Amino acid sequence: MLGALFGYLYFFSGKLSLAMLGHFFNNAFTLVVIYLDNLGWIQFDLEDSSQYSIPEVAAFFVAFAALLSYFIYYQRKQSGAYG
């Protein structure tokens, strides 16, 4: 899923650095979560997907689709595809 997101970022922006930046933030976020879990500040199991409810997952996908749609609209507007 993330590979598709980074591919779309590259395809629509034409900038590989934007996809690389997204990959960096994804990895950095994961490392911070693991570090905080090891410190005992948060309780998080990366391998246990049962902790997410269907409404949370649905909300994430709706937000993802909205952001992707806006990004595509913005890119097309900048290129003059909408007049």
- The model's pLDDT over 23-35, given as tens digits with 9 standing for 90+, comes to 898 899 889 988 9
Q: Which of 49, 76, 73 is nearest to 60 (CA)?
A: 49
Q: Percentage of the chain surpassing pLDDT 70?
A: 88
Contact criterion met (CB below 8 Å) for 60 and 52: no
pTM over 0.95: no
- Res 82 pLDDT > 70: no
User: Between helices 54-79 and 2-13, what is the axis angle to 10°?
Assistant: 10
DSSP assignment of 22-48: HHHHHHHHHHHHHHHHHHTSS---TT-
Give per-residue pLDDT as tens, 35-59: 988 888 888 776 766 666 778 778 8
